Amino acid sequence: MKTLVIIPTYNELDNVRKLIPYILEKYPELNVLVVDDNSPDGTSDYVKELSDKDSRVFLIKREKKSGLGTAYVEGFKFMLKNGYDAVIQMDADFSHDPDEIKNFLEKIKDYDLVIGSRYINGVRVINWPISRLLLSYFANVYTRVITCMPVKDATGGFKCFRREVLQSIDLDKIKSNGYSFQIEMNFHAWKKNFKITEIPITFADRVQGTSKMSRKIVREAVFMVWKLRFQSLLGLKN
């Protein structure tokens, strides 16, 4: 199965210097696409140099910081255009353990969407303050109650899609970011009756760089679940 790993970046130079070579060495069959929002720290320059040397590495450099959701949408369109069978999305900061990619590659053989879950088999989060852990955990409870979607970690960003899922979704209509982007993509896959499974992952808070979390992202997610619920009730489709 031809698989692409999408990594959105903004000021992640120190992290991608470690992460991309590690992925390529451990999983030589994979390709890596970095979608960089014109990082001032030279992230895109490093990825461009790497891509010039290694045909498995690709770069999309955007003009400005435009958000996580739109970065993934651009990556998904690249994936579909270039004939990949599956795509893995993950953060650059090692909060998503690249050693767990093998589990996604195995599960995606039998499922259409594989979600890395922090909230099955207990709570698997390291180095988060209790306030953020409670926010994340209850945001997922809230999402599950409002949307009725049977996913325990609907806001997580470590996932693997088959191309058929992304082909079925009108990506041009996806405008959300952060938590709400993850919820929206999962919801559309679920409503279209694709086979979804969750696998346990351990999420470790970043040790370098700064978190992209903000109050705006949280507010967007709060309203997104109601938007999806009403779209479902009215029979509107993406």
Virtual CA dihedral for 148, 152, 153, 158, nearest 10 degrees? -110
> Residue 178 corresponds to which tokens in the numbers above?
């952060």
Are β-strands 125-126 and 57-61 bridged in parallel, bridged antiparallel, or unpaired?
unpaired
What pLDDT, on a 0 to 100 scale, did the predictor assign at position 175?
82
What is the mean predicted confidence (pLDDT) over 11-30? 97
225 vs 140, higher pLDDT: 140
Decide if pLDDT at 212 tops 60: no
What is the mean predicted confidence (pLDDT) over 52-59? 97
What pLDDT, on a 0 to 100 scale, did the predictor assign at position 237?
66
CB 31 within 8 A of CB 4: yes
Range name among 30-34, 106-110, 207-211 with the lowest pLDDT average = 207-211
What's the CA gap between 28 and 119, in Å, rounded? 30
**Would you say domain 3-234 falls under CATH 3.40.50.300?**
no
Decide if pLDDT at 233 tops 70: no
Cα distances from 55 to residues 47, 50, 59, 82, 90, in angstroms, run 12, 9, 11, 13, 20
CB 115 within 8 A of CB 151: yes
Helix, strand, coil tally for the chain in percent (to 5): 45, 15, 35
Calculate the average pLDDT of the chain: 90
Range name among 19-23, 69-73, 144-148, 228-232 with the lowest pLDDT average = 228-232
Tens of pLDDT, residue by residue over 107-144, are 999 999 999 999 988 888 887 888 888 888 888 998 99
The helix/strand/coil state of 230 is: helix
Query: String of b and e for 98-121 (b: at least 16 CB within 10 Å)?
Result: bebbebbbebbeebbbbbbbbbbe
Cα distances from 189 to residues 11, 36, 108, in angstroms, run 31, 26, 14
What's the CA angle centered on 126, arms 125 and 127, to 5 degrees?
A: 130
What's the CA gap between 159 and 142, in Å, rounded? 21
